Structure 1
Amino acid sequence: MIVAEGLTKRFGDKTAVDDVSFTVHPGKVTGFLGPNGAGKSTTMRMIVGLDRPTAGTVTVGGGAYRTLRSPLTEVGVLLDAKAVHTGRTAREHLRAMAATHGIGRDRVNEVIELTGIGSVAGKRAGKFSLGMGQRLGIAAALLGDPHTLILDEPVNGLDPEGVRWVRQFVRHLASEGRTVLLSSHLMSEMSQTADHVIVLGRGKVLADAPLAEIVRAWTRASLVVRSPRLAELAQAVAGPDVVVTPLDPGAAEITGITAAVVGDLAASLGIPVHELTPRSGSLEDAYLALTGESVEYKTKEIA
């Protein structure tokens, strides 16, 4: 379990993390989301003792990370896949890490095969592609078979097979009762992986709830309706809470009304309906609604 209480970090006059409190429970995958500059990386660095909090506390398994007697066997961490000696081979890098904790070579070989880097384990890490570097970083995080796993953007640079493997593997670890904190900007992937979501914006917690609950609270279900008499149908369903948004000729997205009501109205008026497809909100929709006012680095919209 990871517990943060009143966690704050200031760099000069800038507050990167502002009075953040949350609990990451074992047995589930917790997604850690937020725009660039939201404070996610700083928070994860404080969890593992790389940054000292200005105020507040954070514990892993009941104690501060710096007090752990055998960190690799208790907490697996991937914050920067490039944090390797570029002149060492992947196998040498993992063996050097293993030696600090008395971990045998069999375990090194096991994580090499587990992460799919067996064919390049004898090559220098500095020559690795982004995806291979990520796999090596994940192997290092898994080396001590830890109970807690903290992964920052673990699927960055991975091919589809690698992305699916990470998704399935972290869910398997959580099913074993382990604590998993996973940061990613890929909302579609996070929606398939996370059970619970913590969202940061400008250093503050914007949401901390089960994924399904966040989607329900921050999105509206809609219908895609297609009809050759769409204008008539739109007029029939009009109401104070109903919004009709044209998509293309003969099609529209409608919110504020159920498919059953639209279908019954169309039938009663003899209006043909060629499509009536319910659409539920997505994690991406919820995330954008949550963080819309907290994006520090805004891009210019394309007209």
Structure 2
Amino acid sequence: MIVIEQLTKRFGSRTAVDSLTATVQPGRVTGFLGPNGAGKSTTMRMIVGLDRPTSGSVTVGGKRYDKLAAPMHEVGALLDAKAAHPGRSAESHLRSLAATHGIGKQRVDEVIAITGLESVARRKAGKFSLGMGQRLGIAVALLGDPATLILDEPVNGLDPEGVMWVRQLARHYAAEGRTVLLSSHLMSEMAQTADHVLVLGRGRLIADAPIGDLLGANAASVRVRSPRATELAALLAGPQVTTTPGTDGAFEVRGLTAAEIGDRAGAAGISLHELTPVSASLEEAYLALTQHEVEYRMEAAR
């Protein structure tokens, strides 16, 4: 379990993490989301002692990371896929790290196999593609068979098979009762992987909820098709209702339930050919939460 209490980190006048309080529970995959600059990586670095908090605290299994007797057995982390020395082979890198904790060659061979590095185990890390570098970083995280797994953007550079593998790995570790904290900008993948999400915006916690609750709390839409679509859309319009035309003759309505739309259409004698509730996607829910918390914005193309 990771327990974060009033965690704050300032770099000069800039506050990267602002009074963050959250608990990452074992037995589930916790997704860590937020725009660029939201403070996710800084938080992860503070968890493993690479950055010192300005104030507040964070513990793993009830202890600060620097108080753990054998950190690799307690916490496995991937924070930088390029952390390996470019002149060392993957096998040499793993064996060197294993030696610091008395981990034998058998476990090194196991994590090489788990991460699919057998064919490149003796190749220099500096020659690795981004995807292979990610696999090596994950192998390092798994080396001590840790109770807690922290992965920062682990699917960067991976092909679809690799992305699916990371998903299965995270869920397998959580199913074993371990603590899994996973960050990613791929919302579709996070929706299939995470059980619970923490969302940061400008260093502050703006959501801490099961993924189902997060989706349910954000307005879904209803897909409507009618031979009198223009008339029906005008009938449904209101201050809290938006209608968006589709490309196939249907339109989407936000702000009314399917039952309310059906009742209004029936009262006006307008026939319906389709009335389908559409759940909000994780991407839509995320954008709704973070629309005012983005530090770096891009202007629309002209």
TM-score category (smaller protein) = over 0.9
Cα displacement (A) at 1:62: 0.3
Match for residue 100 of structure 2?
100
Q: Contact between 1:200 and 1:207, CA under 8 Å: does it hold in 2?
A: yes
Cα displacement (A) at 1:262: 3.6
Cα displacement (A) at 1:245: 1.9
What amino acid is the match of 2:285?
Answer: A
Change (3 A) 1:267 1:14: closer
1:101-140 to 2 correspondences below 5 Å: 101-140=101-140
1:150-229 to 2 correspondences below 5 Å: 150-217=150-217, 219-229=218-228
1:54-69 to 2 correspondences below 5 Å: 54-69=54-69
Aligned with 1:10: secondary structure? strand
Cα displacement (A) at 1:236: 4.2
Match for residue 38 of structure 2?
38
Aligned with 2:86: secondary structure? coil
Aligned with 1:248: secondary structure? coil
Any unmatched runs of 5+ in structure 2? none
Give distance in 2, aligned partners of 1:284 and 1:277.
Answer: 20
Aligned with 1:135: secondary structure? helix
Which digits, 9 at most, give the CA deviation of each residue in 1:173-228, with x for residues without a partner? 111110001111111111111111111111111111111112222x2111122233
Which digits, 9 at most, give the CA deviation of each residue in 1:88-130, with x for residues without a partner? 1111111111111111111111111111111111111110000
Give distance in 2, aligned partners of 1:240 and 1:201.
Answer: 28
1:143-154 to 2 correspondences below 5 Å: 143-154=143-154
What amino acid is the match of 2:258?
Answer: A
Cα displacement (A) at 1:151: 0.4
What amino acid is the match of 1:165?
Answer: W
TM normalised by structure 1 equals 0.94
What amino acid is the match of 1:253?
Answer: E
TM normalised by structure 2 equals 0.94
Match for residue 73 of structure 1?
73
Match for residue 234 of structure 1?
233
Moved more, 146-155 or 116-125: 116-125
Any unmatched runs of 5+ in structure 1? none
Give distance in 2, aligned partners of 1:141 and 1:66.
Answer: 17
Cα displacement (A) at 1:269: 5.8
Q: Contact between 1:6 and 1:20, CA under 8 Å: does it hold in 2?
A: yes
1:285-300 to 2 correspondences below 5 Å: 285-300=284-299
Q: Contact between 1:225 and 1:273, CA under 8 Å: does it hold in 2?
A: yes
Match for residue 86 of structure 2?
86
Give distance in 2, aligned partners of 1:263 and 1:215.
Answer: 24
Indicate yes or no: 2:12 matched with 1:12.
yes
Cα displacement (A) at 1:266: 4.8
- Runs of 4+ in structure 1 off by over 6 angstroms are none
Match for residue 53 of structure 1?
53
Change (3 A) 1:239 1:39: closer
Which digits, 9 at most, give the CA deviation of each residue in 1:70-89, with x for residues without a partner? 11111000000100011111
Q: Contact between 1:229 and 1:250, CA under 8 Å: does it hold in 2?
A: no
Aligned residues: 302
Indicate yes or no: 2:284 matched with 1:302.
no
